[in-house]
Amino acid sequence: MKYQHRALSTLAKKFPEGIFAILVYGPDAGHVSETVKKLVGGAVADPKDPFSITEVDAQIIKQDPTFVTDSALAFSMSGERKLIRIRNATDIMVPIIETILQFETIEANIILDAGNLDTRSKLRALFEKNNRLGSFACYGDQGSSLKNLIKEIFKENDIYAGEGVLDYLLTRLGNDRQHTVNELNKLALMVGPGGRLSLEETIDSIGDAGLLALEDIAYFTGSGNLETLCLSLQRAEDSGQSPITILRTVISHFQRLHSIATKTENGAPLEAAIKNLRPPVFWNRKQEFERQARAWTTSKLELALERFFIGEHQCKTTGIPQMPLCCQVLIGVCLMRPYNKT
């Protein structure tokens, strides 16, 4: 059973009836950790009580496959339902969970965390399809979820966000929940309770945080800047950035260019079309964005977007190493960048 994150507030109060295990997975390690923490709070009366929680790494379970089964069936000394917390879960957990599913009564709740599990993962498939199991996917905060997180933290700290602050943060944060929360708390601490956060202060504080490096990759691709693009892709790989996230960031940039190209080809003034974009193009990117908008036609942009979407699909489904495939797609589009219009 797949859970949406809007259900988390309810599950943080009480572990769901009829569900004995929940898998939390995804490339956003900070979001995975925070989701697990909330689920633990709903699974036991006191998350700090060592007698209520048994924690174990999946690699340890690999050496003793019966450990989880025995723990799940053993009665609690306190009479309350126990929690088994399994870290770094992989497909080696599948036969163990399938064994536990055969029992009608289970004496413990189980929470598993994992990294990024693609659609070929047997563990992910098991938890998504069985009505006695649940799963949460953590792919980072974007759009409304990121906006709500920013507003929530600012409200908790009594911070007023000045003009342009929210739009700026929406384009710079969201790739990792813990990093996003840390950056927002840093801003709140900087201005203090009741303070007003300006766009200038936000830019100075956030700097190259969050998705700024990925935005650079998008701009280098659109500008045909092959050498710098290759260097940025190497840095992204070294820092562990998700190829899917890279492609989605570039797709978003090219979709914005396509929106502008469509409007200008229908007679709209370029500057007015760019000015009306939401979120807006920030001052330090406006000149480059305008150059790209003049250079790319709708037909070229549609071809580029088609390549991006095919590349993302192949990353998810073919088993080809994702980062080399991502680089191949971006370099190919970078090389097809047209000359600026005169």
Q: What is the Cα–Cα distance from 9 to 12, expressed in whole angstroms?
A: 5
Q: Is 282 exposed, middle or buried (0-12, 13-18, 19+ CB in 10 A)?
A: middle
Domains and CATH numbers, the chain: 5-137 (3.40.50.300), 143-206 (1.10.8), 212-335 (1.20.272.10)
Buried b (16+ CB within 10 A) or exposed e, 183-212: bbeebbeebeeebebebebbbeebeebbbe
pLDDT (tens, 9 = 90+) of the chain, 342 residues, equals 889 878 888 999 999 988 999 999 987 778 888 899 999 999 988 888 878 888 999 888 988 889 999 888 887 666 678 899 999 999 999 999 999 999 988 889 999 999 888 788 999 999 999 999 999 988 766 666 788 889 999 999 999 999 888 888 876 776 677 778 888 999 999 999 999 999 888 887 875 544 557 788 899 999 888 888 888 888 778 777 788 888 988 998 898 899 888 888 888 888 888 887 777 777 767 888 989 999 888 888 999 998 999 988 888 888 888 999 999 999 999 998 765 444
Please give the pLDDT value at position 210: 44
Please give the pLDDT value at position 74: 81
Please give the pLDDT value at position 286: 82
pTM, 2 dp: 0.56
**Beta sheet of 108-113, edge-to-edge order:** 53-57, 82-87, 108-113, 21-25, 133-137
Please give the pLDDT value at position 342: 40
Q: What is the Cα–Cα distance from 19 to 11, expressed in whole angstroms?
A: 11
